[in-house]
């Protein structure tokens, strides 16, 4: 009997205790929004070489790129000299391009002041509550964020957008927003109501059953990330991607960590068609 008790003890049997805790307020998440169209057509339509470049590096299959003017003598030069961040700065969307009006808790706010620029794989995006300072006390759309957006379908550039609308992601303010991978789509011309619920998961190390789990909030935890002061899975993914791209191509993508430092150099559009 004693032997079985010892064996049972070292198996660390799990007991679950459920309790209900009422709070007067909860942290409001960061909200990152990206237009599915990366470049505004009106800003590049007069430059046919640039139009061919954008179509060339678009994610469309090669069979749908028959209208590219490959005989353009400037295309190879532009491919190997133009930086993607320069394209986005020149032809990407601004806050004023994206939003008609913004409301927080039923009060009008300045969209340009409420949103900060965030670069993701979808281009220039915009994040609300990027510093995580806002809280919510009540439920309902009038107690949260309300946006009226202008998607400008006529501005869509062929090759980058196969649909019209935006992708949005709710996330912790310290997390890197993986909008393309994890965001939800909102179609043009429709109202979308998004209900949210806060779920907190803490990975426990041994003696619990998690083999590779560690508590990243513990005082003994040391953040292994180089560019993000707070550890997150998305930050880890971005840093791993950045290291791989740098090893293969000796450059970094415009939205990867370290791109703003200038070392390594930013990848040119020609690299996209060859490597990525």
Within-domain flag for 229 = no
Give the whole-number percent of the chain exceeding pLDDT 70: 67
CA distance 173 to 89: 24
* 64, pLDDT greater than 60: no
Within-domain flag for 128 = yes
pLDDT at 134: 93
* 82-105 pLDDT tens trace: 555 666 777 788 899 899 999 999
* Enclosing domain of residue 56: 28-194
Give the whole-number percent of the chain exceeding pLDDT 90: 22
Q: Are 31 and 186 in contact (CB under 8 A)?
A: no
* 276, pLDDT greater than 50: no
pLDDT at 275: 43
* 208, pLDDT greater than 80: no
Within-domain flag for 132 = yes
Within-domain flag for 169 = yes
Phi, psi of 55 (to 5 degrees): -65, -35
* 238, pLDDT greater than 90: no
CA distance 91 to 22: 47
CA distance 125 to 123: 6
Count structural domains, the chain. Answer: 1
Phi-psi region of 197 (alpha: psi -120 to 50; beta: other; left: phi over 0): beta
Within-domain flag for 137 = yes
pLDDT at 259: 58
Biggest CA–CA distance in the chain, Å, is 86
Find, among 162, 153, 174, 167, the residue nearest to 30 by Cα.
174
Within-domain flag for 64 = yes
Choose between 49 and 130: higher pLDDT: 130
Q: And the tokens for 247?
A: 């090893």
Within-domain flag for 102 = yes
pLDDT at 74: 45
CA distance 95 to 114: 10
Of 50-64, 66-80, 170-184, 236-250, give the lowest mean pLDDT range: 66-80
Mean pLDDT (the chain, rounded): 77
Please compute the mean of the pLDDT values over residues 96-121 and round it to a whole number.
93
CATH number of the domain where residue 87 is located:
2.60.470
Termini Cα distance of the chain: 62
CA distance 9 to 105: 52
* 178, pLDDT greater than 50: yes
Of 140-144, 160-164, 207-211, 235-239, give the lowest mean pLDDT range: 207-211
CA distance 262 to 265: 5
Within-domain flag for 109 = yes
CA distance 34 to 275: 25
Q: How confident is the model at residue 206 (pLDDT cuts 50, 70, 90)?
A: low
- Helix H, strand E, coil C: the string for the chain is CHHHHHHHHHCCCCCCCCCCCCCCCEECCEEEEEECCCCCHHHCCCCHHHHHHHHHCCCCCHHHCCCCCCCCCCHHHHHHHCCHHHHHHHHCCCHHHHEEEEEECCEEECHHHHEEEEEECCEEEEEECCCCCCEECCCCHHHCEEEEECCCHHHCCCCCCCCCEEEEEEECCCCCCCHHHHCEEEECCCCCCCCCCCCCCCCCCCCCCCCCCCCCCCCCCCCCCCCCCCCCHHHHHHHHHHHHHHHHHCCECCCCCCHHHCCCCECCHHHHHHHC
Please compute the mean of the pLDDT values over residues 15-25 and round it to a whole number.
77
């Amino acid at each position: 009997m004693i032997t079985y008790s010892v064996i049972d003890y070292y198996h660390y049997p799990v007991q679950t205790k459920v309790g209900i805790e009422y709070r007067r307020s909860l942290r409001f998440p960061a909200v990152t929004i990206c237009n599915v169209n990366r470049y505004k057509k009106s800003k590049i339509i007069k430059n046919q070489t640039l139009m061919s470049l954008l179509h060339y590096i678009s994610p469309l299959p090669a069979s749908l790129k028959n209208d590219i003017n490959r005989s353009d003598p400037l295309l190879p030069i532009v491919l190997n000299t133009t930086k993607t961040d320069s394209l986005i700065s020149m032809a990407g969307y601004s806050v004023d391009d994206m939003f008609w009006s913004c409301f927080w808790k039923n009060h009008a706010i300045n969209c340009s002041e409420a949103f900060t620029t965030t670069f993701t794989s979808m281009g220039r995006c915009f994040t609300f509550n990027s510093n995580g300072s806002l809280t919510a006390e009540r439920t309902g759309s009038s107690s949260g964020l309300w946006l009226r957006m202008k998607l400008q379908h006529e501005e869509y550039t062929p090759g980058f957008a196969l649909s019209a609308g935006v992708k949005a992601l709710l996330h912790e303010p310290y997390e890197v927003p993986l909008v393309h991978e994890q965001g939800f789509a909102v179609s043009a011309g429709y109202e979308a109501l998004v209900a949210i619920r806060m779920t907190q998961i803490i990975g426990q190390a041994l003696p619990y059953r998690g083999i590779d789990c560690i508590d990243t909030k513990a005082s003994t935890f040391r953040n292994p990330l180089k560019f993000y002061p707070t550890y997150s899975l998305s930050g880890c993914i971005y840093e791993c991607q950045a290291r791989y791209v740098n090893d293969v191509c000796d450059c970094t993508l415009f939205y990867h960590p370290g791109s703003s430092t200038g070392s390594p150099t930013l990848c040119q559009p020609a690299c996209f068609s060859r490597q990525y």
